[in-house]
Structure 1
Amino acid sequence: MPAPVVTIVTFAGSVLVALVAVALVHRTVARIGRKSELFANLARHLHRPAQVVAALVALQLSLGVTASGEWRPTALHAVGIALILSGAWLLAALLVVLENATLSRVRIDVDDNRHARRVHTQVRLMRRVTVGVVSVVAVAAVLMTFPGARAAGASLLASAGVIGAIAALAAQSLLGNVFAGMQIAFSDALRLDDVLIVEEQWGRVEEITLTYVVVHLWDDRRLILPTSHFLKTPFENWTRTQSALLGTVELEVDWTVPVEEMRQELRHALESTDLWDGRVSVLQVTDALRSFVKLRALVSARDAPSLWDLRCVVREHLVTWLRANHPGALPQVRVRDMPKTTPRRPEVAEPHGDNRVFGESADGEERVQAFSGPTSTQEMQPVRVGVPSSP
């Protein structure tokens, strides 16, 4: 049998054996995965990269044993590069499986999920970091397989200080966002599913990456902000320690409003809805000026969406109750008619010292002369010009 045919048959046989071995292992792991979520994820995520790695390993072994000729070093080099990249793929998939296993043990679909959201935020950011590191190392390993790249790498290491300074200046914004993302992940200032007020917008944190944060706004828009924005600009986090919140409902009514009856009606309105968490029910007169009395109802709910709906329900209920039971307490503007009388000429008041700029005191007169000059009552002395008379 010719040598090329033997080489091709050897290559095909070794690759086939490797694929069969991977298939058997995959079937075993998948069978165990019926009872274990970890093994199910292993079977789902590692199957394809494991096939590629096994086939490349078998191919490299076959090339080392049976191949000969000038093409052998080039083929071994190409297979080595492919093996490095596929190994990085397999390692990244394994890291993803381990991180998914960690996330599956911490549930966020519970009432008090603050710790769970913190863990999910940190694990997802670490996933991006680890995958990025593996990718960079794999690319560096591929470049180092070329002799010219190794020589260039040695010269680059010699001038690493200058290159590092140039790279830091060129990627200052990017690196700032990356470090900001790491700080956000481990400082617990921002987590996934947190409710925020940022850039005067209300929304929920949908995604946190190393460079940007996606906020899902209440009207289904997405607000994308760099991670450094949350370290430089103040923002409101409504769910950092707990999701329960307080809210206000303000009404301007007439002075005849029955405050105590309205306070009891507020309690009745809150007890008739499941949006209220039973913590706070307060009605106070916060202002009483001019034509209106301002009332403020303070209520509480378990989370921000429930609080918004509860405020609307309370506002509608109190307005309806006032219109039905106390229409006179609705806001009114009173206009009083003045009696018609014959107009009188205004009396001219005698000048008084306190209605002048400086008053009539000695100090005032001195200031008048200083700012206005001599008064008209002062006589000017004549000035004689000529030859003085003899004695």
Structure 2
Amino acid sequence: MSTGELTRAALLAGGAAVCAWLLGLLSAWLVELVSRRRYELLLAKLSHSCRRPWRITLLVSAELIVLPHTAIPDPTQAVIRHGLVIALIAACAWLFVKALFVLEDATFRRLPVDVPDNRRMRRARTQIGVLRRLTAVAVILVAAGSILVTFQPLRAFGASLLASAGFLSVVAALAARTTLGHVFAGLQLVFTDALRIDDVVVVENNEWGRIEELRLTYVVVRLWDERRLVLPTTYFTTTPFQNWTRNEARVVASVNLYLDYTMPITPLREEARRIIEASPLWARHEWVLQVVDTTEKTMVIQVLADAADGPSAFDLKCEIREQLIAFLRTHYPQCLPGTRISLPQS
């Protein structure tokens, strides 16, 4: 190439870059203009998050348009075009994935979980989150297949990855692997509605907590003492666990007391009524005190009271237990568990 041809190619490339930059500014201005009338928050987030991949997409597209009009030799043009096509595919995939994240966040804002009955919201948020991750993985696979197609030696493999039959065969071949096993377990949990974000569960060693994250391969449980328990999704498909909020957010608090057979039930029931009705943690639906079992030396008294959610139920249970123990220690210390010894009369 002569110096003039090289200068012309550089000017065309620079002009294309300037045009792409101006088009990016124009599109940002149009989005801002439209957002003043409708969907202000959504469009503002979309513009902010997608700005970089969108500008790269415009830049690469502009360079592809002007490339044939340069005097660059055909072999060199082919190499440059190949690189630009790969960059364009990657930029489009990046743009799509970023847009998915923004749409997920916008949907989550319309599905608040800080309401009394949030079961449907939690179910929707869980399924939307998993669908977004699956779609992002599919976009990345399609982009990878499209890039492979651009290489002659790898064209057959790339085409098979893009074809539905080839795609399914790849997934089926990998399904036996541990990672894909966790993924399928995660899908099973989400779409059978067995587990949702913010569900209250009891898992390993009677540890209870809330589902904080539900990923394709693992689940994060935020325990009552703020520890995080990370479990593989296969744990929930192979091991029995308790889900206290499977049907509703309300949780029943349960307190067991082991008392001597001489303990009168009526005053204990009245004290339990006073404690529960005075507590702001009680959901005001139901409560009960019953003798549910007996042992060789004691009777088992169970107090049940409902609370709005798992943490409230735990605090209510502790409150009932503490105040009933104080009541027994003050008024009926002789009815606390003990051992009787019968001495023969001389």
TM-score bracket for this pair, using the shorter chain length: 0.7 to 0.9
Decide whether aligned partners of structure 1 residues 325 and 228 sit closer, same or farther in structure 2, where only a CA change above 3 A counts.
closer
Match of 2:305 among 284, 295, 299: 299
Match of 1:2 among 4, 22, 32: 4
Match of 1:48 among 35, 40, 52: 52
Decide whether aligned partners of structure 1 residues 231 and 87 sit closer, same or farther in structure 2, where only a CA change above 3 A counts.
same
- d(CA) in 1 for partners of 2:70 and 2:199? 61
The offset of 1:114, in angstroms, is 0.7
Query: How do 1:202-241 and structure 2 match up within 5 A?
Result: 202-241=208-247
- d(CA) in 2 for partners of 1:154 and 1:99? 30
Q: What one-letter code is carried by the residue in structure 1 that aligns with 2:59?
A: A
Aligned equivalent of 1:276: 282
Aligned equivalent of 1:94: 99
Decide whether aligned partners of structure 1 residues 312 and 122 sit closer, same or farther in structure 2, where only a CA change above 3 A counts.
same
The offset of 1:2, in angstroms, is 1.8
Query: How do 1:2-151 and structure 2 match up within 5 A?
Result: 2-33=4-35, 36-69=40-73, 70-151=75-156
The offset of 1:288, in angstroms, is 5.2
- d(CA) in 2 for partners of 1:165 and 1:22? 38
Q: What one-letter code is carried by the residue in structure 2 that aligns with 1:51?
A: R
Decide whether aligned partners of structure 1 residues 53 and 231 sit closer, same or farther in structure 2, where only a CA change above 3 A counts.
same
Match of 1:191 among 192, 196, 207: 196
Query: How do 1:353-372 and structure 2 match up within 5 A?
Result: none
Corresponding position: 1:265 with 2:267: no
- d(CA) in 1 for partners of 2:240 and 2:225? 22
The offset of 1:202, in angstroms, is 1.3
> What stretches of structure 1 move > 6 A for 4+ residues in a row?
154-157
The offset of 1:99, in angstroms, is 3.0
TM-score normalised by L of structure 2: 0.88
Aligned length: 337
Contact 1:254 1:293 in 2 (8 A): yes
- d(CA) in 2 for partners of 1:123 and 1:197? 24
Decide whether aligned partners of structure 1 residues 169 and 109 sit closer, same or farther in structure 2, where only a CA change above 3 A counts.
closer
The unaligned stretches of length 5 or more in structure 1 are 341-391
Secondary structure of the 2:15 match is helix
Q: RMSD of aligned C-alpha atoms? A: 2.7
Q: Which has the higher helix share?
A: 2
Q: What one-letter code is carried by the residue in structure 2 that aligns with 1:299?
A: A
The offset of 1:121, in angstroms, is 0.7
Aligned equivalent of 2:326: 320
Match of 1:336 among 319, 322, 342: 342
Contact 1:249 1:311 in 2 (8 A): yes
The unaligned stretches of length 5 or more in structure 2 are none
- d(CA) in 2 for partners of 1:253 and 1:165? 63
Secondary structure of the 1:60 match is helix
Contact 2:53 2:95 in 1 (8 A): yes
Contact 1:30 1:40 in 2 (8 A): yes
Secondary structure of the 1:256 match is coil
- d(CA) in 2 for partners of 1:173 and 1:307? 37
- d(CA) in 1 for partners of 2:286 and 2:156? 72
- d(CA) in 2 for partners of 1:165 and 1:100? 31
Bigger Cα displacement from structure 2, 239-248 vs 27-36: 27-36
Aligned equivalent of 1:285: 291
Corresponding position: 1:176 with 2:181: yes
Q: What one-letter code is carried by the residue in structure 1 that aligns with 2:215?
A: T
- d(CA) in 2 for partners of 1:52 and 1:288? 74
Decide whether aligned partners of structure 1 residues 172 and 339 sit closer, same or farther in structure 2, where only a CA change above 3 A counts.
same
The offset of 1:154, in angstroms, is 7.5
Q: What one-letter code is carried by the residue in structure 1 that aligns with 2:218?
A: Y
**Larger gyration radius, structure 1 or structure 2:** 1
The offset of 1:245, in angstroms, is 2.2
Secondary structure of the 1:25 match is helix
- d(CA) in 2 for partners of 1:123 and 1:3? 53
Secondary structure of the 1:136 match is helix
TM-score normalised by L of structure 1: 0.78
The offset of 1:152, in angstroms, is 5.7
Q: What one-letter code is carried by the residue in structure 1 that aligns with 2:256?
A: E
- d(CA) in 2 for partners of 1:99 and 1:271? 42
- d(CA) in 1 for partners of 2:296 and 2:86? 83
